[in-house]
């Protein structure tokens, strides 16, 4: 079943329940839209003035759908997560807390390697000077095997510096407070973050206890760890947009589609939403059995017909 990301971007919207549907009404008009509750992957609220009841929050939480509240630049400022995602949450989180530093470092090594592979793929399939993109992609390929346990030499950051310059242009700087492509990245990452947060909670893991990210003021450290390998999918979509892009409904639909894109999993092609769940479940299993073997989906070979 395809699940949808529902965004409330306009003011004067009232959200209520009606017989298994989320009803979105516009104040003082008869305009309304209905979405089946079971079809909602996540609810994004970027409008500064929208109204929803605790009944709506509870109904979405019961179905495992997070609610993301974003600022005007689409950076999340709050996420409401369900608590009933897994039957053995206490046991899973006990294993998570007890995991050794060595276990976490090995996990982070594999996540960084997967992210850099994804960045190399993103360069190869994006538009631009082919020789420049291929040269940068090969440079990233060479980095992958050099990523050590815990990434002690911070190859993740070194790869990012080489990657952004070629993908977005020499003048691009990743600035979450800026507009244009930066705002588009914020939006795409918010969609991705909500999906991974849902997967983490559904797997019984504590989203605040990270593998690498450890900011005590960040309640989603583990989510930010596990979304890293999927970020290049968003990057590639945004790279195809104008530098000064203003996010309209069309651009948002394109970015929301990131959850439906297919990657190569153990049993064939799977959409990102399923790959995120498989990754979270494998991380939970690894905490339990002491084997840091995350189930990381692979990007398609750029020489094959494009799958996305």
**What span, in angstroms and rounded, lies between the C-alpha atoms of 251 and 38?**
25
Using CA atoms, how far apart are residues 190 and 162, in angstroms rounded to an integer?
Answer: 24
Same domain, 53 and 100: no
Domain identity same for 124 and 259:
yes
Last residue of a domain, one of 14, 30, 65: 65
Cα–Cα nearest to 179, from 73, 293, 63, 272: 73
- The model carries a pTM of 0.87
Backbone dihedral angles phi then psi of residue 20, each to the nearest 5 degrees:
85, 5
- Same domain flag for 162 and 240: yes
Residue 143 shares a structural domain with residue 277: yes
192 and 47 together in one domain: no
Shared domain check, 175 and 222: yes
182 found inside a domain:
yes
Q: What proportion of the chain, given as a percentage, has pLDDT over 70?
A: 96
Residue 234 lies in a domain: yes
Cα-based distances in Å from 60 to 1, 74, 143, 205, 236 = 17, 21, 42, 19, 30
Whether 68 contacts 190, CB under 8 Å: yes
The CATH number for 28's domain is 3.100.10.20
CA 89 to chain centre: 22
Q: Kindly report the number of other CB atoms within 10 A of residue 150's CB atom.
A: 18
Q: Is residue 71 part of a domain?
A: no
d(CA 8, CA 43): 8
**Same-domain check for residues 119 and 210:** yes
Where residue 103 sits, what CATH number does that domain have? 1.20.120.920
48 and 106 together in one domain: no
Give the residue from 223, 108, 214, 211 showing the smallest Cα distance to 154: 108
Among candidates 113, 95, 96, 98, which has minimal Cα distance to 149? 113
Residue 81 lies in a domain: no
Domain interval for residue 262: 89-289
What pairs with residue 132 in β-bridges? none
Q: Judge if 95 and 60 occupy the same domain.
A: no
Domain-located, residue 299 = no
Q: Are 178 and 280 members of one domain?
A: yes
DSSP state of 258: G
User: Which 3 state secondary structure label does DSSP give 95?
Assistant: helix
Strand partners, 23: 16, 34
Tens of pLDDT, residue by residue over 180-231, are 999 999 999 999 999 999 999 989 999 999 999 988 888 899 999 999 999 9
Residues 35 and 162 in one domain: no
Alpha-carbon distance of 66 to 44, in angstroms, equals: 9
Same domain membership, residue 180 and residue 34: no
Residue 307 domain flag: no
| 243-277: pLDDT as tens digits | 999 999 999 999 999 999 999 988 788 999 999 99
Region of 189 (left: φ > 0; alpha: ψ -120 to 50; beta: rest) is alpha
Ordered alpha helix ranges (H), the chain? 54-62, 89-98, 101-125, 130-144, 155-168, 181-202, 221-226, 231-239, 249-256, 272-289
Structural domain count, the chain: 2
Tens digit of pLDDT for each residue in 121-167? Answer: 999 998 777 889 999 999 999 999 999 999 999 999 999 999 999 99
d(CA 305, CA 308): 9
Reported in sequence order, the residue ranges of 27-123 that DSSP labels E, i.e. its strands, are 32-36, 40-45, 50-52, 67-70, 76-80
| Residue 297, domain member (yes or no) | no
- With bands split at pLDDT 50, 70 and 90, how would you rate the model's confidence at 304? low
Q: How confident is the model at residue 235 (pLDDT cuts 50, 70, 90)?
A: very high
Query: Is 79 part of a structural domain of the chain?
Result: no
Beta pairing class for 67-70 and 76-80: antiparallel
DSSP assignments along 275-286, one per residue: HHHHHHHHHHHH
């Amino acid at each position: 079943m395809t699940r949808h990301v529902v965004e409330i971007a306009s003011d004067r919207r009232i959200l209520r329940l009606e017989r298994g549907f989320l009803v979105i009404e516009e104040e003082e008009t008869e305009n309304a839209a209905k979405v089946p509750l079971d079809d909602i992957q996540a609810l994004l609220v970027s409008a500064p003035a929208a109204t929803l009841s605790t009944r709506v929050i509870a109904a979405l939480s019961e179905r495992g759908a997070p609610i993301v509240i974003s600022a005007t630049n689409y950076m999340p400022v709050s996420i409401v997560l369900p608590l009933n995602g897994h039957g053995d949450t206490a046991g899973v989180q006990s294993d998570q807390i007890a995991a050794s530093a060595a276990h976490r470092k090995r996990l982070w090594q594999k996540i960084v390697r997967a992210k850099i592979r994804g960045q190399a793929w993103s360069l190869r399939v994006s538009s631009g000077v082919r020789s420049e993109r291929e040269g940068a992609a090969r440079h990233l390929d060479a980095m992958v095997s050099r990523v050590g346990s815990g990434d002690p030499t911070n190859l993740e950051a070194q790869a990012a510096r080489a990657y952004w310059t070629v993908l977005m242009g020499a003048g691009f700087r990743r600035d979450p407070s800026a507009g244009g492509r930066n705002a588009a990245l914020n939006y795409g990452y918010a969609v991705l973050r909500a999906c991974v947060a849902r997967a983490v909670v559904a797997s019984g893991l504590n989203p605040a206890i990270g593998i690498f990210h450890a900011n005590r003021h960040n309640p989603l450290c583990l989510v930010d760890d596990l979304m890293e390998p999927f970020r290049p999918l968003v990057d590639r979509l945004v790279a195809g947009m104008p530098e000064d892009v203003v996010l309209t409904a069309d651009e948002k639909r394109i970015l929301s589609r990131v959850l439906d894109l297919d990657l190569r999993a153990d049993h064939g092609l799977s959409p990102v939403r399923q790959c995120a769940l498989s990754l979270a479940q494998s991380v939970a299993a690894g905490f339990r059995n002491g084997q840091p073997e995350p189930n990381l989906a692979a990007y398609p070979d750029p020489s094959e017909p494009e799958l996305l």
